[in-house]
Amino acid sequence: MDGQEQGVMKQFILNFGILGLMTILLTSCGRKNIPVTTAPDVSLSEEDLRAIEEGKESDVVTEEISISEISDIEPMAPYLLLSLQKTDCPGFCPVFELRLFSDGRALYRGTKDVAMIGKFESRLSTEQLTEIISAAERADFFALAPKYPINGKTIRELPTTITSINQLSKAHAVTNSFDSPKRLRSFENYVIRFFEGLNWRRIEG
């Protein structure tokens, strides 16, 4: 091989070496710039695999929650079911307040121009409680206006009767000075007569 052929061979080997080096550098740079991610290792249960094969969603797995025994649940505390109050006036006006609770307990407090002055207590049966609520429904108590007269004008010389009923699901109060519907006055008188027929026991306080 003469000198010229040796020079060509050396140049070929040099070019081939440079090309190989550039290929290595370009390949390594590409790997550094592109982040490599791997899929999380999630294993499917046999139930999930069957659901996928059948083309439907897996059944929802619910956690069983223990429920307290009914005997451990505290009963609802008694609440004020009905109240009726008569206010004072310049002349002779009975002033008293009646309170009836959901457990049948009844309280009376007489202040002026009544036979029983002071605080008294009585007890109603479940049937008597039902009777009073039925009377309120017959009077359509919850449909009454909250105040009579409706125009708001009052006469100071006349007493006022304030009646309220609370049945948890609905509650209503009516302040009656005068010019009220007959069914309201009849219900007020019914409640007063009903309480007058109870056996009362004086209490302290």
What is the 3-state secondary structure of 149-200?
Answer: CCCCCCCCCCCCEEEEEECCCCEEEEEECCCCCHHHHHHHHHHHHHHHCCCC
What is the CB-side half-sphere exposure of residue 123 using CA atoms within 13 A?
A: 2
pLDDT of residue 154: 78
> Is the pLDDT at 33 greater than 50, yes or no?
no
Tell me how far apart the alpha carbons of residues 115 and 88 are, in angstroms, rounded to a whole number.
16
Rounded to the nearest 10 degrees, how much is the dihedral formed by the CA atoms of 138, 144, 148, 151? -150
pLDDT in tens, 48-89: 556 555 654 444 545 554 555 555 566 679 999 999 999 999
What is the CB-side half-sphere exposure of residue 68 using CA atoms within 13 A?
A: 5
- Is the pTM higher than 0.85? The answer reads no
Tell me how far apart the alpha carbons of residues 99 and 105 are, in angstroms, rounded to a whole number.
8
Q: Three-state DSSP class for 99?
A: strand
pLDDT band, very low/low/confident/very high, at 104 (cuts 50, 70, 90): very high
Residues 177, 70 contacting (CB under 8 angstroms): no
pLDDT of residue 38: 47
Per CATH, the homologous superfamily of domain 80-202 is Mago nashi (3.30.1560.10)
Per-position b or e across 41-79, b if 16+ CB within 10 A of its CB: eeeeeeeeeeeeeeeeeeeeeeeeeeeeeeeeeeeeeee
pLDDT of residue 37: 45
pLDDT band, very low/low/confident/very high, at 32 (cuts 50, 70, 90): very low
Per-position b or e across 146-175, b if 16+ CB within 10 A of its CB: ebbeeeeeeeeeebbbbbbbeeeeeeeebb
Please list the residues that pair with 17 across neighbouring strands: none
142 residue type, one letter: F
The two tokens of residue 186 are 């009849």
Higher pLDDT pick, 22 / 155: 155
Tell me how far apart the alpha carbons of residues 171 and 167 are, in angstroms, rounded to a whole number.
6
pLDDT of residue 156: 81
Higher pLDDT pick, 155 / 180: 180
Q: Tokens 């069957």 map to which residue? A: 50
